[in-house]
Amino acid sequence: MSKVLVSDPIDQAGIDILSQVATVDVKTNLKPEELVQIIGDYDALMIRSGTRVTKEIIEAGTQLKIIGRAGVGVDNVDVPAATRKGIVVVNSPEGNTIAAAEHALAMMLSLSRYIPDANASVKRGEWDRKSFIGAEVYKKTLGVIGLGKIGSHVATVAKAMGMKLLAYDPFISTERAEQIGCQLVELDLLVQQADYITLHMPKTPETTHLIDAKMLAKMKPTARIVNCARGGIIDEEALAVALKEGQIAGAALDVFESEPLGESSLRALGKEIILTPHLGASTTEAQVNVAIDVAEQIRDVLLGLPARSAVNIPGLGPDILEELKPYMQLAETLGKLVGQLAGGRVELLNVRLQGELATNKSQPLVIASLKGLLYQALRERVNYVNATLEAKERGIRVIETRDAAIKDYAGSLHLEATGSLGTHSVTGALLGDGEIRLTNIDGFPVNVPPSQHMLFTLHRDMPGIIGKLGSLLGSFNVNIASMQVGRKIVRGDAVMVLSLDDPLPEGILSEIKKVAGIRDAYTVTL
Ligand SMILES: NC(=O)C1=CN([C@@H]2O[C@H](COP(=O)(O)OP(=O)(O)OC[C@H]3O[C@@H](n4cnc5c(N)ncnc54)[C@H](O)[C@@H]3O)[C@@H](O)[C@H]2O)C=CC1
Ligand SMILES: O=C(O)C(=O)COP(=O)(O)O
């Protein structure tokens, strides 16, 4: 049975799902060195923001197949290191969107009305009303930086509160921003004009310290800033100075450069700052959502199925994935086959989507083809996560083409590879029941199911060859399960495809090539 380590607190709903397929150990608050020591026993690791999954941990995780982040941000995971080792990293892109957006809105309103400090003063027994005269958000300008899922929800709600909306997001179209009621502007303009600024982008090299002393200096003295995205997007030292000197009016932070927040000049500030301990996703609803979402993906990957929200393989909606799953199997089989026919050192792979398949996304099929193609070289080390990277590192050029006009099967996939044994091609299709059929080998039409041990010959179509080959295989005690000849013209060139019950013994291939009329022969193991 597989083993899953859960190293941050997650909802029981997630543990229940994982327990269907694995032994689940929940061990929170582990020190990095403790995690390095035990991770080698586990097939999957499930985390939130509390666990830093470093390169060292990934390298020690020799059995790891998947890292599941029960939330959005994966900045605490060394994703490139995981990709290199073929480990899928999944998250829950939508499970906590509303929770995080509502927290940002709550922070904005709390900041405007000094609710945390007013509350604390009443609890201390005071009745001070004049110290807490706030500001309204109505008709004020909110600048949303990062107009993704959370930013969009914040904008939508803020609009309903009568706020004017500016947005900065280099990857969002003007039309999309307008749909949400935001005017897309440059960052400088946004920070100069906004009364409230809210951050909703990932932490990347570009966004780290994006809000620094210079940026803070451009803001209105009445401006208030909210960060429920990631610590380190705001330079905390510069923020503490700006607040102290009255350069801006307030800040509300849920996330910090280092968590838990240690010694910090931010703690010494007054009612102009609100600090929460990374609570954006901490609602009952969000925790159930993310735990189920990620646990289901871990379960699927442990069962050999693809994950729906992997961050290090192309994003595919569950619908597309469901539809393409059988074709990915076909692509992988054809990749294995053509890779062996072309010999090692494949330099070029052409993947052609034919017939109805031509309207589908090609990327997953290309990845599956590469996974098959590289299997000979890498065995179990190659998977959907690292196949593209491994192919690139081996200098394999990939061409994707489509031909909707080829209609001999409803949808078929054609792979052509050039390697040390020259250029070879295979075509395959799926039958109604999802079974794979090889429909063409090197331009010769065939109709055979793939099998584990196969033999292909290129020969002259003439009497006696099939018999000679059969006797030769028999003399080596190799049993033929099925055999088919594909030819274009009678007595011209032809291919023979044999499914064998046993692998071909050493040395027999050279004997086969000596049979009169046989020009070439290849064995393939699928
Ligand atoms: N405080 C908390 O507990 C939570 C924090 N988060 C954080 O919130 C952030 C946003 O999450 P989602 O909206 O779900 O992500 P998302 O991927 O839907 O949106 C992020 C947006 O940021 C934009 N972006 C990327 N680089 C940018 C840049 N340099 N400048 C401006 N915009 C840029 C992207 O184009 C995208 O539209 C993430 O950092 C996530 O980790 C998410 C959930 C809970
Ligand atoms: O989903 C995110 O990006 C979050 O920041 C939530 O973090 P958490 O799962 O609450 O530790």
pLDDT in tens, 442-465: 999 999 999 999 999 999 988 988
| Ramachandran category for residue 243: left, alpha or beta (phi over 0 → left; psi -120 to 50 → alpha) | alpha
224 C-alpha to center of ligand 1: Å? 19
Closest residue CA from atom 4 of ligand 1: 280
Using only C-alpha atoms, the chain has a radius of gyration, in whole angstroms, of 30
523, pLDDT greater than 70: yes
Do 395 and 473 fall into the same domain?
Answer: no
Q: How many CB atoms lie within 10 A of CB 421?
A: 16
Average pLDDT, the chain: 93
Best of 91, 278, 285 to mutate for ligand 2, by most ligand atoms within 8 A of CB? Answer: 278
Pocket of ligand 1 (CB under 6 A): 71-73, 96-97, 100, 145-151, 168-172, 200-202, 204, 206-207, 228-230, 254-255, 278, 280-281
Do 88 and 102 fall into the same domain?
Answer: no
148 C-alpha to center of ligand 1: Å? 6
The CATH number for 75's domain is 3.40.50.720
Give me the domain span that covers residue 464: 451-526
Please give the pLDDT value at position 314.
Answer: 59
Closest residue CA from atom 10 of ligand 2: 281
Residue pLDDT, tens place only, 242-291: 999 999 999 999 999 999 999 999 999 999 999 999 999 999 999 999 99
Query: Which atom belonging to ligand 2 lies closest to the Cα atom of 255?
Result: 5
Amino acid at 255: V
Amino acid at 314: P
Helix (H) or strand (E) holding 453: strand 453-460
| Cα distance between residue 102 and residue 109, in whole Å | 11
322, pLDDT greater than 80: no
Ligand nearest to the CA of 203: 1
Lowest mean pLDDT among 43-47, 196-200, 522-526: 522-526
Residues near 431 by beta carbon (within 8 Å), at least 6 away in sequence: 437
Do 59 and 18 fall into the same domain?
Answer: yes
Yes or no: say if 448 and 499 are a contact pair by the CB < 8 Å rule.
yes
Pocket of ligand 2 (CB under 6 A): 48-50, 70-73, 96, 278, 280-282
Please give the pLDDT value at position 317.
Answer: 54
Q: Which of 318, 198, 188, 303 is nearest to 251 (CA)?
A: 198
Do 148 and 235 fall into the same domain?
Answer: yes
Do 89 and 103 fall into the same domain?
Answer: no
345, pLDDT greater than 90: no
Residue 353 is given by DSSP the state: E
| Cα distance between residue 8 and residue 286, in whole Å | 15
323, pLDDT greater than 80: no
Do 81 and 101 fall into the same domain?
Answer: no
8, pLDDT greater than 90: yes
| Ramachandran category for residue 181: left, alpha or beta (phi over 0 → left; psi -120 to 50 → alpha) | left
Q: In what order do the strands lie in the sheet with 88-90?
A: 22-26, 2-6, 44-47, 66-69, 88-90
Do 298 and 337 fall into the same domain?
Answer: no
SS3 of 358-384: HHCCCHHHHHHHHHHHHHHHHHHHCCC
Best of 8, 69, 72 to mutate for ligand 1, by most ligand atoms within 8 A of CB? Answer: 72
Query: Which atom belonging to ligand 2 lies closest to the Cα atom of 92?
Result: 1
316, pLDDT greater than 60: no
Residue pLDDT, tens place only, 459-488: 998 898 889 999 999 999 999 998 999 988
Residue pLDDT, tens place only, 193-216: 999 999 999 998 889 999 999 999
The CATH number for 388's domain is 3.30.1330.90
Yes or no: say if 369 and 396 are a contact pair by the CB < 8 Å rule.
no
| Cα distance between residue 300 and residue 384, in whole Å | 14
Q: Which of 438, 99, 458, 132 is nearest to 271 (CA)?
A: 132
Do 339 and 261 fall into the same domain?
Answer: no
Q: How many CA atoms lie within 13 A of 273 on its CB side?
A: 22
Please give the pLDDT value at position 493.
Answer: 92
Q: Residue 479 domain-assigned?
A: yes
Best of 92, 96, 203 to mutate for ligand 2, by most ligand atoms within 8 A of CB? Answer: 96
Residue pLDDT, tens place only, 87-121: 999 999 999 999 999 999 999 999 999 999 999 99
354, pLDDT greater than 60: yes
So which residues are the catalytic ones? 230, 259, 278
- In this prediction, the answer to ipTM > 0.90 reads yes
